[in-house]
Amino acid sequence: MKLYKKEGNIVQILSFPNETVEKGDYLLVEDAEAGRSLIVQVIDVQFASIPGVLEELLRSLPDGGELIQGEDIDPLEIAPHITYIQDASLLFCKIRATVESENLSPSSSWLPSRSRSAIKKLPLPTLLKLAKINGKLPIVLGGTKDSALLTIDASSLDGRLNIITGKKETGKSHLSKLLMVNLVGYKATVVVFDLNGEYISLGMTADGKRNACFDKIHVLTPSQNFKLALKQLNLHVLLGILIHALHLPGTSAREFRRIWQSLKERGNITLHELGETIRNWNCNQQVRDALFSRYHALVNSGFFTDNVAEATLLEECLLKAREEGGAIVINLRNTSSIDRQIVVEYVLGKLVESLTSWKLKAVFLFAEEAHLYLRETYWDDIVTRMRHFGIFTTFITNQPDTIRENIYRQADNIFLFNFTNEHDLDVVSRAARVDAETVRSIARDLPPHYCLALGKVVRDFPMVAKVRALDVKTMGETRLFFKDMN
């Protein structure tokens, strides 16, 4: 390989057919005399612009488009040299760091010698060692192309905002399960908003047996094993549900506050009593109607009960998880849009409450397709306010444009699966820790189950790995019509 050109922080390297280099590979450009080396990553491979190639190709295609038949007597065996030159490729590489005396710096302000520099492939294990991408809490993400293991440190997810995105069926949920299981293994508290019931068997092996974290997985299905008694609720949590999930206007909310105080004074906070109080409350008819419609929404959700014995306390599960680690899976499958918002509003309110009062240290929140249940104002809340309370969110989506731009800008880690759509790639490349060229070039060619890890988990050295298999029962598979016919 030969150093050819440098433009900005992109170097172009000439590579010959016997040097197999692919997109995503790391190269070390060593300038022995300067005592420094550049670490560069291949982000695109193109044919080298060899003069005369077009003529070479054209003359093999005469009129009619069929290859002309003939014999080449090439006694000096020049033909292999011709193909060797023709097949030379130009590697477009992004400068990632400079190595000087085994120390890494992000500098790209110097230029290695074009004539003297030796260029070789930088094996990923060496890079991981150089960049110190390991730690005390390893999570093996998967295998890299050169059969090394890509191991990240669980602490690099701690206090961070993460995004897992990619096309359908590329392995996003699989990766989020892998991260969850490992976090739970390190005694972390994990809460998952499970839209399709994909995480409910996290405690089972593929053949349906209990796995090591079976006891740490708490699946809460709203209106089934996850119900609330009104008296267990704080007013501000309930108001949150009414205002944000059920869009109760301000005037009506003020009346509701009074009704709640009245019920509290009477010591009789039940659904039935709440309905009766609204009916008999001395207020404007429109306010009453507004309150009644919300009341019926609460009742119809099936999420609320007057039977305290029937109610499950989220707080209990959280406290259980606090001790030994655990995942609380909020199963939102078969839940209507309104009910989903009620549940999410309650869970988030409860989490903030528990974290504010230091009942919980921190929570890793995994939110799949969050735009389907997260209200507008929560996005900013999650990345700014809630992070300070100790809610560290991982968004999982196959529609990257549903996540707001400011979330991308503040994301610390991005796990990117295959995308072919330019618009999707454009959206992801807005992330502050990512350069657009890398995202566009590498993500487009990622095979299924291969993930491009970007950000702090890989110390800003974008790396591709095939996400390792997980012995967990697969759920959330698409129901197929022709499945049994084939």
Angle at 234 between CA 233 and CA 237, to 5 degrees: 90
- The nearer residue to other proteins, 8 or 64, going by C-beta atoms, is 64
State which of residues 72, 102, 207, 477 lies at the interface with other proteins (CB under 8 A). Answer: 72
What DSSP character marks residue 208? S
Residue listed under structure tokens 């509701």: 256
Closest approach of other proteins to the CB of residue 84, in Å = 7
Closest approach of other proteins to the CB of residue 78, in Å = 5
Q: Per CB under 8 A, does 447 bind other proteins? A: no
- The nearer residue to other proteins, 10 or 82, going by C-beta atoms, is 82
Closest approach of other proteins to the CB of residue 114, in Å = 13
- The nearer residue to other proteins, 69 or 109, going by C-beta atoms, is 69
State the angle between helix axes of 285-301 and 271-280 in degrees (0 to 180), rounded to the nearest 10: 170
Q: How many CA atoms lie within 13 A of 382 on its CB side?
A: 31
How many whole angstroms from its chain centre is CA 425? 14
- The nearer residue to other proteins, 48 or 104, going by C-beta atoms, is 48
Closest approach of other proteins to the CB of residue 44, in Å = 22
The dihedral over CA atoms of 169, 175, 180, 185, expressed in degrees to the nearest 10, equals: 140
109 phi and psi, to 5 degrees? -85, -5
Q: Parallel, antiparallel, or unpaired for β 36-47 and 26-31? A: antiparallel
Six token digits for residue 297: 């929404």
The contact pattern for other proteins, residues 29-68, with x = CB under 8 A and - = no contact, is: ---------------------xxxx-xx--x--xx----x
State which of residues 65, 70, 208, 250 lies at the interface with other proteins (CB under 8 A). Answer: 70
Which 77-96 residues touch other proteins, going by CB under 8 A? 78, 81-82, 84-86
Q: With CB under 8 A as the contact rule, which of the stretches 17-25, 73-81, 306-314, 462-470 interacts with other proteins?
A: 73-81
Closest CA to 360 of 332, 394, 392: 392
- The nearer residue to other proteins, 8 or 75, going by C-beta atoms, is 75
CA distance 147 to 136: 22
Residue count, binding to other proteins (CB under 8 A): 24
Closest approach of other proteins to the CB of residue 53, in Å = 5
Helices (H), 202-249: 235-240
Instruction: Using CB under 8 A, list all residues that contact other proteins.
Output: 50-53, 55-56, 59, 62-63, 68-76, 78, 81-82, 84-86
